[in-house]
Structure 1
């Protein structure tokens, strides 16, 4: 049975943190995934995790921190008991515009991967939609990142793959050996959940999660993270998504 995790970014609009962690533990989660906005209150976060009984095996760290404040990232990850550090995003003005540029960026990611390996951590990239969209020269950023950073793993956000216009089953099949974790979320039917940016609770959207789940089970991934970019009801999202995950 999987140890279900929860990306705390989904709860950013529902403070306080300690109450959120207690809710997640009561709902049935055993893990959570951190993100950059939580780390400045490191002691508070560590204490709240201990009080709730939840662990944080993975966390998102911005590229700026990894590149310019590497020691701080390592300290945070070690303090919180993480085993994998994940870079989740690249701001639009920092994104390369051609394949050569993405391969050069991947080389920088590979350096971080090797540094983290020396510190005892895994390193992964978390995708959004832009990495799946073809560049003017035909290159696909996600493929270029995985090619140029062989020591880096992938936390696949399946719903963002779909929003990027790609077939997630193809990507999971092609790069499954690199997948260390997965974000589980859903896309609402056209016109629904407009107040939630078109996202849906897991199993309450249009994605074929039973088929996707079987594909993910063939990968090394053992961290499965519930996420919703803009839920209107935190308790509803957490409970319904976990219920779907158990049914998978």
Structure 2
């Protein structure tokens, strides 16, 4: 029998819940033992490591901007080593670039592939995290996400699949997970509220409390290669509630 996937939580979900100490307390109190960081927490790696260790937490991964990769990739790698984090994900492209054409996404995929190889030499894995705009069809008939991964070619660039954003983009996540089995290494677990167009919290809700079939989806994420389920909520009105509900649901799910 497969062991349950380890659970983590994206610290960005708790950005309005107080300072970093309070955010990490919430993570720990909810039951999580892993947390996914954001790029700014790599700036003072020693402080971040100290705060994690104080609560018995480890960093499952961290998001990192394309600007940080371009400007100081070696510093980022060193910070990861200090913290004990060996997985990075580039979470999104700048807003002004999200509607770019095919050439842009091909160039980005190639660039991320180069960074993935460079970081792999230092023991750090690099992946990409999707939203819904990468599902836009470009002038050559392919989606931005397909162009990005195709252009990464045989590099070790991986995928943190945000399943709910695939659904928001009108895609069948099971088809995408099947297609990119082996490239998937992590999955964001969040949920879409019933009547999401009129619901608060930007139409999101705590994982397990919405319309998505997470027992099926979690199994598909595992089958595609996910090694972590990372709870996330893009705009919770109550961060403590979200963390408690997310851990309780995903823990009993036994994904």
- Regarding TM over 0.5, the answer is yes
Higher relative contact order (CA 8 A, sep 6+): 2
Worse-matched range after superposition: 39-48 or 176-185: 39-48
Please state how far the C-alpha of 1:213 moved relative to its aligned partner.
Answer: 1.4
Number of matched pairs: 248
| Structure 1 residue 189: Cα displacement | 1.1
Distance 1:219 1:195 in 2: 32
Asked if 1:103 corresponds to 2:106, the answer is yes
Equivalent position of 1:64 in the other structure: 67
* Structure 1 counterpart of 2:212, from 207, 212, 215: 207
Deviation at 1:147, TM superposition (A): 1.1
**Bigger mean CA deviation after superposition, 66-75 or 187-196:** 187-196
How far off its partner does 1:95 sit? 4.2
Q: 1:24 aligns with which of 8, 27, 30?
A: 27
TM-score with structure 1 setting the length: 0.94
Asked if 1:183 is matched to 2:168, the reply is no
The answer to whether the Cα contact below 8 Å between 1:193 and 1:200 also exists between their aligned partners in 2 is no
TM-score (norm 2): 0.92
Say whether 1:124 aligns with 2:105.
no
RMSD: 1.6
Instruction: Tell me if the contact between 2:166 and 2:172 (Cα under 8 Å) persists in the aligned partners.
Output: yes
Q: Alpha-carbon deviation of 1:96? A: 6.6
What's the secondary structure of 1:123's corresponding residue? strand
Unaligned runs of 5+ in 1: none
Deviating more after overlay: 208-217 vs 119-128: 208-217
CA distance in 2, matches of 1:110, 1:165: 27
1: CA distance between counterparts of 2:189 and 2:121? 30
Name the stretch that deviates more: 154-163 or 97-106: 97-106
SS of residue in 2 equivalent to 1:177: coil
**Cα distance change of structure 1 residues 193 and 71 upon mapping to structure 2, 3 Å threshold:** farther
1:3·1:29 contact (CA, 8 Å) conserved in 2?
A: no
Q: 1:193, 1:121 → 2: CA distance?
A: 41
The match for 2:42 is 39
Provide Cα deviations, 1:17-39, integer angstroms capped at 9, x if missing partner.
12221222222111000112333
Comparing 164-173 and 33-42, the one that deviates more: 33-42
Question: Are 1:85 and 2:69 an aligned pair?
Answer: no
Report the alpha carbon displacement of residue 192 of structure 1 after superposing the two structures with TM.
Answer: 7.1
Residue 116 to residue 202, structure 1, CA distance change in 2 (3 Å): same
Distance 2:113 2:220 in 1: 27
Structure 1: distance between partners of 2:222 and 2:43:
35
Question: Residues 35 and 60 of structure 2 are in contact (CA less than 8 Å); yes or no, is this contact kept in structure 1?
Answer: yes
Q: CA deviation at 1:191?
A: 4.8
Deviations 1:46-83 (A, max 9, x none): 21101000000210000011012112211221111111
Aligned partner of residue 154 in structure 1, secondary structure: strand
Secondary structure at the aligned position of 2:200 is classed as helix
CA distance in 1, matches of 2:94, 2:235: 19
